[in-house]
Amino acid sequence: MDSYKPKPRDEAAETIECFIIRNNLCPHDKLPSQREMCAMWSFNRVTLCSAIERLTQEGKLYSRPGSGVYVAPPKIQRNLLRLQSPTDYAREEGTQLQTKNLSFTVMPCTRQLSQKLHIPLGRPVYKLVRLRMINQVPSEIDTSYLDAQKVPDLENYNLETRSLYEILRTQYRFQLTGGEENISITYADPMEAKFLEIPENTGVFYLSGTVWDEQKTPLEYYKSLVRSELLKYSSTLRR
């Protein structure tokens, strides 16, 4: 029986991990350039790129286009069984969350939004698109849709410094009691990749769902694109 022989990619990945440990590199520390690493360890460029891709998928490295490859911080964990905003789970993990508004518009309710928000076609709907950054690294793009009649003058609140859910609770007196969420995988298009600072067509988590009040009336329909190497999702299994 032939003995198992590690693939060159796996050997390269192990070499990079050993380099990080030996040199006490910390999260967000930059690795040498690909040319330097190839010279240091006599790897060809294809093998090295494959190893970096594997470690990136595992959440151990991340890339910034035009800048280089960096040591990734530990993944942020989000519990799928809890209704949490990014502000909530970032705070629990002790990380710094920043929010940047990409757009805030009013649009007529479409057929899809009518089904999700249980409101008539054509009714004004707020569409809010925000970029989330964890420890100054772009982590997700969130798009929220809300019935403008239920949350009038929402544009008057600073949604870069305040949580949307906190505003819904304190300013509009809604009790957010639950919701439903779906998770799948998609690939970042050129604009999404630019905002998330990842290569085009990188695989990302795609989340969509609704949040409702105590009468199970939908308040928000949302879609999120999340960098898979920065966040992980967990739940508890029971029989």
- Pick from 56-60, 92-96, 108-112, 203-207 the range whose average pLDDT is largest: 108-112
Domain 76-234 CATH class label: alpha beta
145-177 pLDDT, tens per residue?
Answer: 999 999 999 999 999 999 899 999 999 999 999
Q: Is 143 exposed, middle or buried (0-12, 13-18, 19+ CB in 10 A)?
A: middle
Question: What global pTM score does this model have?
Answer: 0.72
User: Once rounded to an integer, what is the mean pLDDT over residues 216-232?
Assistant: 88
Residue 236 has pLDDT above 70, yes or no: no
Do the domains 8-71 and 76-234 sit in the same CATH topology, yes or no?
no
User: What is the average pLDDT score of the chain?
Assistant: 87
- Predicted confidence at residue 234, as pLDDT, reads 64
**pLDDT level of residue 7 (50, 70, 90 thresholds):** confident
CATH architecture, domain defined by 8-71: Orthogonal Bundle (1.10)
Residue 28 has pLDDT above 90, yes or no: no
- Predicted confidence at residue 14, as pLDDT, reads 92
CA distance 125 to 105: 8
What share of the chain has pLDDT > 90, as a percent?
57
Residue 67 has pLDDT above 80, yes or no: yes
Residue 192 CB partners (closer than 8 Å, separation 6+): 141, 204, 225
Bridge-based pairing state of the strands 68-71 and 76-79: unpaired
136 near 97, Cβ under 8 Å? Answer: no
Of the listed ranges 60-64, 197-201, 228-232, the one predicted with least confidence? 228-232
Check residue 172 and report its DSSP letter. Answer: S
CA distance 228 to 202: 9
**pLDDT level of residue 1 (50, 70, 90 thresholds):** very low
- Predicted confidence at residue 81, as pLDDT, reads 55
Q: In which residue are the tokens 């190839």 written?
A: 38
- Predicted confidence at residue 237, as pLDDT, reads 55
Check residues 237 and 24 and name the one with the higher pLDDT.
24
131 near 139, Cβ under 8 Å? Answer: no
Check residues 131 and 82 and name the one with the higher pLDDT.
131
- Predicted confidence at residue 79, as pLDDT, reads 59
Q: In which residue are the tokens 């192990």 written?
A: 14
CA distance 223 to 228: 15
CA angle 5, 63, 43 (to 5 degrees): 35
Q: What is the DSSP string of 149-168?
A: TTSTTGGGS-TTTS-HHHHH
CA distance 93 to 221: 25
Residue 100: phi and psi, rounded to 5, are -125, 125
User: Once rounded to an integer, what is the mean pLDDT over residues 202-223?
Assistant: 92
- Predicted confidence at residue 235, as pLDDT, reads 63
Q: Could you state, in order of their start, the residue ranges of all structural domains in the chain?
A: 8-71, 76-234
User: Once rounded to an integer, what is the mean pLDDT over residues 112-120?
Assistant: 96
